Chains A and B, each alone.
Chain A
């Protein structure tokens, strides 16, 4: 059996794109590993996969991988991806995005892609801060947390990503963390398999900015804390609400069957034939 790391090496563009831009200890590389293992497990041909991303640390991920890759403008990955998918429905389209890219500047595209239930898998790497621009607060930065633009503590509320995705109409919604890698592999595999709009929130660490500004420790400490702060959804169902205070729930939040947008459009084309 191949070592896990060997699988990743088969899918990298090592000569062309490396070294990578991420800080040592960044969780985004772990998400990349999960993505590659999921694709490898599903044995999808590389030519049939398009990775689309926006702008930010997370959005640099596609350049390192040997697929069709489209690195777009800030917030717009899902809109570009919608064009790719509708024009070529056989393509597996996977969007790699971050909390700022997807939920702030790209929030509108996120809810509308979910509403259409277009068959795109969105891997939303949530590190609770804008890393690439130097640590500004994002729509998922916790209240009263520090960022370079919330020097007195963040006075805004946060998006709950699974609730937002479900309310907007996504077919599959899950959350994992970069500590729980085996689970993350599985969630991404399920999301890619799902016909419809699927979202995996991959909770990650930005020790460089979030960690430093909030005294949350280094990469090891922040990833280790995920282990302590996480409760699987199934376990949480049996626990009293007070015990869930301040905890993060992981697992599959929604997995429903509904008509997919490109399928419906293809049916329309079929129905118009000869008319």
Chain B
């Protein structure tokens, strides 16, 4: 018998985290993400895992990095204001190559904004939030059920690529309850980081290998390595040699960008002969799907593009998706003043018009709104 449940998105994060092998969570209460922390506070100690409520989001991010260095699989969950506070340490996790997952249940902003209302306005913060050059991995689920699988996937990607991974939820998805068929154990992949096999004196914690992937020892394993946020050489010691600086930053960029085929999931439907494409991610993709069905009933040729991995951008894949000669207009629908649309403009063919359907009044985009936009642009 299938395990069928009625869950909200935040509870789905908890379920996904437990299935994905989470052992450590640090967080700070913030609406609308709090149910993630509440659920894990209850579940983790029952399986020998650790939950800690830190004094703020900066500390939460710091604590999961510290825990991850000992071998733990870690996560924190927050919303806009907390996500802003985490940014410096997200950059730390990136340069120090520490796997961890950051769940951002987005609410309206800027500042305190709209704690109980929906938005997708951290799309660009997820990409560019921390200072310095940075390549983000961010996933955007559209349903409660998908939230479970993408939570596991976020953990898997962080372990595989030794990097922070962001799960971009939103208030509606976090709080909406839906029917969920729980994944059976063994039907999904759980990735654990690769451990070194070399003797301690050969081990380089930040080794630059031809694949750019490198094993990761834990504190206490006998390797006694140094971890720092200063730009460092392969052994982790600070460096100011320009070649080593270049090599390190090149590695960080390419250990992700070389694997976009694996990392980037983009779902498409009816793009082969579409005149109009609707690009939407997160829960807006559901409105887009319905709008497209309505448009097709009216014999309009409309295709759907749903980025599941919203960062990094798989340029080549988008070039293919948008390569149909019939394509004239791309509509990018999102709950902000037009963020992802700039990225789609970058990857769209020059002859195709890209238009933004931006809603930022704390309400969801409706299928009618998208349908009207389709009629307007065609």
Within 8 A of B (CB), among A212-246: none
- Smallest CB-CB separation from B226: which chain A residue? A69
| Bound Cα distance A90, B26 (Å) | 19
Which DSSP category, helix, strand, loop or mixed, fits chain A's interface?
helix
Question: Is the CB–CB distance between A108 and B45 below 8 Å?
Answer: no
- The listed residue with most B CB atoms (<10 A of its CB), out of A50, A79, A108, is A79
- Give per-residue flags for B35-60: 1 if the beta carbon is below 8 A from chain A beta carbons, else 0: 00000000001101010101110111
Q: Does A88 have its Cβ within 8 Å of any Cβ on chain B?
A: yes
Question: Is the CB–CB distance between A72 and B70 below 8 Å?
Answer: no
| Bound Cα distance A69, B219 (Å) | 8
- Give per-residue flags for A32-70: 1 if the beta carbon is below 8 A from chain B beta carbons, else 0: 000000000000001110101000000000110011111
Question: Is the CB–CB distance between B220 and A109 below 8 Å?
Answer: no
Contacts across chains A and B counted by CB atoms under 8 Å: 136
Question: Is the CB–CB distance between B24 and A76 below 8 Å?
Answer: no
Q: Which residues of A contact B220 (CB under 8 A)?
A: 47-48, 50, 68, 88, 90-91
Question: Is the CB–CB distance between B226 and A86 below 8 Å?
Answer: no
Q: Does B212 have its Cβ within 8 Å of any Cβ on chain A?
A: no
Kindly state the interface size class of chain A when it binds its partner: 35 or more
Q: Does B237 have its Cβ within 8 Å of any Cβ on chain A?
A: yes
Q: Does A83 have its Cβ within 8 Å of any Cβ on chain B?
A: yes
| Bound Cα distance A223, B154 (Å) | 53
Least distance between B9 CB and chain A CB atoms (Å): 26
Q: Which of A96-104, A176-184, A265-273 is found at the contact surface with chain B?
A: A265-273
Q: Does B229 have its Cβ within 8 Å of any Cβ on chain A?
A: yes
Q: Does B64 have its Cβ within 8 Å of any Cβ on chain A?
A: yes
Q: Which residues of A contact B13 (CB under 8 A)?
A: none
Within 8 A of A (CB), among B4-49: 23-24, 26, 45-46, 48
Q: Which residues of A contact B221 (CB under 8 A)?
A: 47
Given A82-B52, A83-B63, CB of A68 within 8 Å of CB of B229: no
Question: Is the CB–CB distance between A73 and B62 below 8 Å?
Answer: yes
Which DSSP category, helix, strand, loop or mixed, fits chain B's interface?
mixed
Q: Does B214 have its Cβ within 8 Å of any Cβ on chain A?
A: no
Least distance between A81 CB and chain B CB atoms (Å): 6
Question: Is the CB–CB distance between B219 and A86 below 8 Å?
Answer: no
Given A79-B63, A83-B64, A275-B46, CB of A68 within 8 Å of CB of B26: no
Q: Which residues of B contact A71 (CB under 8 A)?
A: 226-230
| Bound Cα distance A81, B62 (Å) | 8
Q: Which of A16, A46, A68, A80 contacts B235 (CB 8 A)?
A: A16
Question: Is the CB–CB distance between A63 and B66 below 8 Å?
Answer: no
- Smallest CB-CB separation from B60: which chain A residue? A79
Q: Does B296 have its Cβ within 8 Å of any Cβ on chain A?
A: no
Question: Is the CB–CB distance between A69 and B227 below 8 Å?
Answer: yes
Given A47-B222, A76-B59, A80-B62, CB of A87 within 8 Å of CB of B70: yes
Question: Is the CB–CB distance between A88 and B46 below 8 Å?
Answer: no
Q: Which residues of A contact B72 (CB under 8 A)?
A: 83, 87
- Smallest CB-CB separation from A275: which chain B residue? B46
Q: Does A194 have its Cβ within 8 Å of any Cβ on chain B?
A: no
Q: Which of A82, A91, A265 contacts B63 (CB 8 A)?
A: A82
Q: Does B339 have its Cβ within 8 Å of any Cβ on chain A?
A: no
Q: Does B327 have its Cβ within 8 Å of any Cβ on chain A?
A: no
Q: Which residues of B contact A86 (CB under 8 A)?
A: 24, 50, 52, 63, 67
Least distance between B279 CB and chain A CB atoms (Å): 36
Q: Which residues of B contact A16 (CB under 8 A)?
A: 235, 237
- Smallest CB-CB separation from A274: which chain B residue? B46
| Bound Cα distance A84, B227 (Å) | 13
| Bound Cα distance A272, B45 (Å) | 7
Q: Which residues of A contact B59 (CB under 8 A)?
A: 76, 79, 82, 108-109, 112
- Smallest CB-CB separation from B24: which chain A residue? A87
Q: Does A7 have its Cβ within 8 Å of any Cβ on chain B?
A: no
Least distance between B264 CB and chain A CB atoms (Å): 30
Q: Does B215 have its Cβ within 8 Å of any Cβ on chain A?
A: no
Within 8 A of B (CB), among A89-147: 90-91, 108-109, 112
Least distance between A261 CB and chain B CB atoms (Å): 9
Q: Does B89 have its Cβ within 8 Å of any Cβ on chain A?
A: yes
| Bound Cα distance A48, B218 (Å) | 11
Beyond known contacts A63-B237, A265-B45: 14 more, CB 8 A cutoff: A17-B226, A17-B237, A50-B220, A68-B219, A70-B69, A70-B226, A71-B226, A76-B89, A80-B65, A84-B66, A86-B52, A87-B67, A87-B68, A88-B219
Q: 4 nearest interchain CB pairs?
A: A83-B66, A83-B63, A79-B62, A87-B67
Chosen A-B contacts, 22 in total, with CB atoms closer than 8 Å, are A50-B220, A66-B224, A69-B225, A70-B69, A71-B226, A72-B92, A73-B88, A76-B59, A79-B60, A79-B66, A80-B62, A81-B66, A83-B24, A83-B68, A83-B69, A86-B52, A87-B72, A87-B74, A108-B59, A112-B55, A112-B59, A268-B45
